[in-house]
Amino acid sequence: MVTLLYGDEPQLLEEKKQNLLHQYTDRTLLTLREEQGPGSILGQLQEVSLFGEPRVFLLVHLPIFDKPKKKLAPEWQGLRDYLQSYTGEDPIIVVYPETIDGRLQGNKAFLGAVESFKFEKVEGEALFQWIQQHCKAHKQKIDPDGMAYLRDLVDLWKDVPLAFLRTEFDRLFLLLKKGESMTAPFLKEHMTDFGEKNIFRFKDALLTKDARTLLDLFPSMLKNKSVDMAMAYVHNQMHLQLMVSECAYYGMTLPEIQSLFKEKGMKANPYTIKLAFEARRKIQIPAVATLISQLYHLILQSRQGIADMSQFQDICLAYCAN
């Protein structure tokens, strides 16, 4: 039997591969790779074991699939044909850590002839579902505030690998005491900085007008591409802060503000709104409005390639001094 594992989500693909290999611990594992060449690989697959020893073959990332603008090389065609019609007793596991275009005739025929498992990149809501399932499988809990914080963090990080999150959560599980759940403060303290987690510290320091912390963070932000991310994030968060503060100023409660945002189709999650509501007494609405306006114009200049990024520091420090 031939089993194909393919797709652009390496973590799930690796987990499935290990599960399959675990079923064949009574067999000798033979791993075959592209550099061995199609002739040598085919010869080893066809070779009869001298002592009848049961084997399992693992074929790793072999170029046996067509691509939209690149046909399968002729020298690999014989190996693909052999795998497609294989009826031997030794299991063959084909690992191909890329997507396969099933619309192409050769690929379609191969996918129809073998057992296959497709692993698509986990992102968006599916990523958070995976996190919840992973926590549940290990009998650990993450509370709503913790999950809301995590959503903000992952959104800020953008393209975060599932493998990183799995390793990270396995480490966090070891830090939890019996009966504890993962809260937002716990995650803030213990999560590794995959991306620019310092932007959260930056935003909190800006809200509290902590100029010393801002000055500590500015050098690393201004010397690389994260400055554009920082400006956009701070602009969006301060705009949210302004809206929440204005609603509270006119007497709206936190649940009423959260409901209003939901009714208007705004994407801010309830936890972020809660943080803004709690911070409302620390800010002055006119000063925040001025800060937002200045950041907006600086972001426009940055996109046009004419901005002086040192102005970002000046704007934020001027807000702290207000």
**Average pLDDT by stretches of 10, the chain with 322 residues:** 92 90 92 92 83 88 90 90 92 94 92 93 86 90 88 74 83 87 88 64 82 80 66 84 92 92 82 84 88 89 79 88 80
Taking each helix axis as running N to C, give the angle between helix 226-249 and helix 285-303, from 0 to 180 degrees, rounded to the nearest 10: 150
Q: Domain ranges for the chain, please list them.
A: 2-118, 125-190, 198-321
| Rounded alpha-carbon distances, angstroms, from residue 92 to 21, 29, 44, 306 | 10, 10, 12, 58
Specify the CATH class of 2-118 in words: alpha beta
Q: How far apart are CA 192 and CA 211, in angstroms?
A: 25
Q: Please name the fold of domain 198-321.
A: Zinc Finger, Delta Prime; domain 3 (1.20.272)
Torsion of Cα atoms, 218 then 219 then 221 then 224, to 10°? 160
Q: How far apart are CA 288 and CA 270, in angstroms?
A: 21
CB–CB of 269/150 below 8 Å? no
Q: What is the pLDDT of residue 64?
A: 94
Q: What is the DSSP letter of 282?
A: G
H or E, element range at 64? none
Q: Could you tell me the strand order of the sheet in which 55-60 lies?
A: 28-33, 55-60, 92-96, 2-6, 115-118
CB–CB of 2/115 below 8 Å? yes
The residues that bridge with 55 in the sheet, in sequence order, are 28
Question: 110 phi and psi, to 5 degrees?
Answer: -65, -45
> Is the alpha carbon torsion for 294, 299, 304, 308 positive or negative?
positive
What SS3 state is found at 134? helix
Q: What is the pLDDT of residue 253?
A: 93
